[in-house]
Structure 1
Amino acid sequence: MPRTAARLAVLAATVAAVAATAACSPAGNGATAAADGRELSEDGSPALLVFGDSWTNGMAATSAENRYAALTGEALGWKTTVDGENGSGYLHEGSAGGTYGSRLARLAATDDFDVIVIQGSINDRKDALAGLDGAAEAVWDGFAERFPDAEIVVLGPAPHVLPVEEKIERIDEILARAAATDGLTYISPLADDWITPANYDTVIDTSEQGANHPGDAGHAYLAEALADDLAALFPDLVAVPVEAAR
């Protein structure tokens, strides 16, 4: 679907609509059921995990609340857990030494999620890609085994520079094919033109501190793009339909 500059304004309207609905809704006790019958968390909100690299970690965001992952959950009315590690990937070890596979093992045994988004990673461009499909499938299988009731969505890499590096395009192709083989939903920021020459300077902070990562405006934009896709995939879990807030 096309992504336009209007997303930056729409996200604020969506968040406001969710907040207004929450203010008018009575608090419930105990677990509740979504429209599709699944049991939700004790406060009645679907539980979202966004798992990924420095983009998910919000490396260039001014606060944890301004990360795209947190804003996505806020827009959808979902209880959100964010697990990002700078430099991490399916193959590449991050700043704390973790790959996606080793980090999966660190998640709390008591965690439970309705939707899991696994993002990235451009960091894998630093490694030989021959084993990427196998590593990714092992991670996805691990999440499916650990959280059998969760819907898993794979969010591919987004470009940090333009034109898109050839190896990042290759990562996107490998992950898209592997996700299709595993029967998983794959969202491709490359194929969907999330970041283009027209919006690059707004989305990406190219300063020394930003290091070609999304700034606050970029995180807001990415959050709206992801919230749109998740709302379309799981309409029964959305407190306020994203389209209704437009």
Structure 2
Amino acid sequence: MGAPERLVARPSLWTIIAAVAAVIVVSVVAFWGPWATPAATVAAGEDEAVVATPPSPLDLPENARVLIFGDSWTWGEAAAPGKGYAYEVADVTGWTTIVDGVRGSGYLRPGIDGADFGTRIAQLDRWLAPDLIVVQGSINDRRLYPQGYREAVGRAWDRLTDIFPDAQIVILGPAPQVLPVEEATALIDADLADLAARRGWWYISPIAENWITAADYRDIIDTSAVGRDHPSTAGHRYLAERLAAAVAALSR
């Protein structure tokens, strides 16, 4: 005797439609979940409507050469020598990192021992040939913001792409040195996210992704007279791990 036949009910049209809709919703949530960075946008002009398109996934070789450019956080302020996040991330990922951090510098503000971001970028050696460039910061512009800010960012990024036309670029926004996040810092974060999206670049926002919260602030930030609200050695290691995870999530 053969195996009994299994009766299969024919689904209704509305059941099929509901199932298809559910698949679409799950796919969208999977792609734009909390682990994903904001969508990029393409715009014809500063005030024109934009069309959302995701940036291409990062495609990094093994032992990638990564230029990390930024302010005192990139320099490694308040960490033990050689233990800043830009150095520690090499240990986490296996990258070869080229670290270019100047304390106090920003897109508008010259630093303690170096110029503003745009001037410093213009002085970079094209023979560095990085596979990836991470541009970090900066909270140092918050006292001068917003006059001329977006224009200064645009000029700096134009120079970066002129010097390194083949490099992949990720913008790492400012992280809060104090809580609650200062208004100007939040506005800088939003501006950088928008400007990066207009170029089709990935943007990582430590503010939006809650890298530093009230629950762990004291474990990450050194508020002493020595640390001056910069990450501690442990805090820099934590930032290195968060950056490595964020870049991995954006990669093939």
Indicate the residue corresponding to 1:63 in structure 2. Answer: 81
Indicate the residue corresponding to 1:33 in structure 2. Answer: none
Indicate the residue corresponding to 1:23 in structure 2. Answer: none
2:181 and 2:202 mapped to 1: Cα distance?
A: 23
Please, which runs of 5 or more residues in structure 2 have no aligned partner?
1-33, 36-58
**Which consecutive aligned stretches of 4+ in structure 1 deviate over 6 angstroms post-superposition?**
none
Matched, 1:52 2:70: yes
1:60 and 1:234 mapped to 2: Cα distance?
A: 30
Aligned-partner SS, 2:124: coil
The answer to whether the 8 A contact 2:114-2:120 is kept is no
Matched, 1:199 2:224: no
TM-score (structure 2 length as normaliser)? 0.74
- Listed as ranges, the matches of 1:50-199 within 5 Å are 50-64=68-82, 66-199=83-216
Please, which runs of 5 or more residues in structure 1 have no aligned partner?
3-35, 236-246
Structure with larger Rg? 2
Read off the aligned partner of 1:232 and give its amino acid letter. A
| Deviations 1:207-230, CA, capped at 9 Å, x for gaps | 000000001110011111100011
RMSD over equivalenced CA pairs, Å: 1.7
**How far did 1:109 drift?**
3.7
* Identical positions, percent: 49
2:168 and 2:175 mapped to 1: Cα distance?
A: 22
**How far did 1:180 drift?**
1.0
| Deviations 1:159-206, CA, capped at 9 Å, x for gaps | 000111111011111111111112111110000000000000000000
Read off the aligned partner of 2:226 and give its amino acid letter. Q
**How far did 1:78 drift?**
0.8
**How far did 1:96 drift?**
2.1
Higher helix share: 1
